[in-house]
Amino acid sequence: MLDAALSGLFLLAIGQAVILAAALLSARQPEMRTANRLLSALLLVFSAILGHAWLGLNHLYQQYPHSALAIVTLGLAVGPLLYLYLRAMLSDQPLGRRALLHFAPFVLATLAMLPFYLRPAAEKLAWMRQWDGWPWYLTLAGLAKLAILLLYIRASHRLIRRVPADSELVHGLRRLMRIWLASGALSIAALALAVSGADAKLPLSGDAVDGIALMLFVFATAFTAMRLPLGYRPRPLPPEPPPPAQPKPRYAGSQLFTIDRDAFLARLTACMEREQPYRNGELKLDELAAQVAMTPHELSQLINESAGANFADYLNRHRVEALKSALHDPLQASASILDLALAAGFNSKSAMNRAFKKHTGLTPGEFRSQAETPV
C-alpha cells in the first residue's frame, strides 16, 4: 500500500518536473532565459533520477536492463545547475563560457561510463544479477556526488546571503535552500540505507527515501517558481566583501631609486614641453608611459611623487597653461574659448571650466577679459 502511494507520488513529481521545465523553456523573458534553461535542465535531471527510483520501487530494474547505472553520473550535474541557476537569476551579469567548467566532473564521469552504457542489455542484466548488495565503487561514487552537492549547496547559500532580503523572492529562495538541504540529508540517509542493507528491514527502501528527497526538491522548486513576481528582472549582485588586508604605503612594492627618478622626470618634462602629448584629449597613462620609455606603474608613481597629483590632474595642469597662453595670444583673439580648449586637450566645455577654475580661480572668459583690459 505504501509503495503504491509512493509510486503515484513519484509519477506526479515526474509530471510536475516535466511540465514546469516545458513552461520555463517557453517563457518569453530574455533576461531570464539563461536562468530558466538552467532550472529546466535541473528539473529534467531530477525527473530522470525520480524515474529511476520509480523503477526500483516497483522492482523493475531487471525488466529494463538499460536502466543499470543510467543515472549514476547525473548527480554530478545537480550542484552546478543549482548554483549557476541562482547566479543567473540573482545577477544581471552573463555567466560566460567559464561556467561550463563546473560540468567537467559530470562530462568526464559520463565519458568514463560510456563503455558500460554501450553494452547490450544481456550483459547489463548479467551484471545486475552478480551483485547481492551494493557495489563498493558505487558507494564511493555516491559519497563523492554527495560531497560535491553539499559544497555547491554551501556556495549557493553564501550567494543568496549576499543579496539584500528586501523581497519575497529572496525570502522564498532562502526557504528553498533549507528544503534543498533537507533533501540532501535525506539523500545521505538513502545512500546509507542502500550501502548497509538496512533498507531490507524497513518499510522504505533506499530508492524510496531518495525519491522522497527528490520529490521535496521538485515540489518546493515548483512552488517557488510559481511565486516568482511577474516582470522580475535580475539585478547587479553585490560584490562579496573582500578579506581584511593590512594597509600598506602606496607604491610600497616598487620604489624608484633617486637616480632613476631624476632621469625619468627629466625625460617626462622634455616630452611634455616638446611633443605636448597632453593636447591629445584621449591620452592614456600607458600611451604616455610608452612615449617616455617607462612602465605605467613607474609613470604613475613618478607623477604622484614629483607633482603631487594623479595622472588626470597632471595633464589638466599642462592643458590649463596651454589655454592661458592661447587666451593671451593676440593672434588667437578671434578664436572661441571652446576651440582653444579643445586644441589644448580638453574634451568638453565642462571639463575645461572645472579644471581652469581649480587652477586659476577664474573662468576662461574672466581670464580672457582680464588679459584684454589695459593696465
Q: What value does the mean pLDDT take over residues 156-164? A: 73
pLDDT at 104: 93
pLDDT at 252: 47
- Residue 250 within a domain: no
Can you give the pTM of this predicted structure? Answer: 0.54
Q: Are residues 190 and 51 in the same domain?
A: yes
- Residue 311 within a domain: yes
Q: Are residues 268 and 143 in the same domain?
A: no
Q: Are residues 214 and 275 in the same domain?
A: no
Instruction: Give the residue from 184, 206, 226 where a domain finishes.
Output: 226
Cell of 128: 545486475
CATH number of the domain encompassing residue 316:
1.10.10.60
Q: Are residues 196 and 340 in the same domain?
A: no
Of 356, 224, 346, the C-alpha closest to 283 is 346
Least confident of 7-21, 128-142, 165-179, 341-355: 165-179
Q: Are residues 55 and 112 in the same domain?
A: yes
- Residue 29 within a domain: yes
pLDDT of 331 strictly over 70: yes
Least confident of 70-84, 176-190, 350-364: 176-190
Tell me the per-residue pLDDT of 36-51, one tens digit each, with 9 for 90 and over: 888 889 889 888 888 8
Number of domains into which the chain is organized = 2
Q: Are residues 218 and 263 in the same domain?
A: no
Instruction: Give the residue from 226, 247, 277 where a domain finishes.
Output: 226
* Domain coverage including residue 351: 258-372
Name which residue leads in pLDDT, 234 or 112.
112
Q: Are residues 103 and 215 in the same domain?
A: yes
CA–CA distance, 233 with 224 (Å, rounded to integer): 16
CATH number of the domain encompassing residue 84:
1.20.1070
Per-residue CA distances from 27 to 17, 30, 181, 227, 269 (Å): 15, 9, 28, 15, 62
- Residue 356 within a domain: yes
pLDDT at 204: 59
Least confident of 102-116, 249-263, 320-334, 356-370: 249-263
- Residue 239 within a domain: no
Q: Are residues 288 and 343 in the same domain?
A: yes
- Residue 244 within a domain: no
- Residue 236 within a domain: no
Name which residue leads in pLDDT, 124 or 199.
124
Instruction: Give the residue from 209, 226, 243 where a domain finishes.
Output: 226
Q: Are residues 89 and 167 in the same domain?
A: yes
Q: Are residues 206 and 58 in the same domain?
A: yes
Q: Are residues 122 and 168 in the same domain?
A: yes
- Residue 251 within a domain: no
Q: Are residues 218 and 298 in the same domain?
A: no
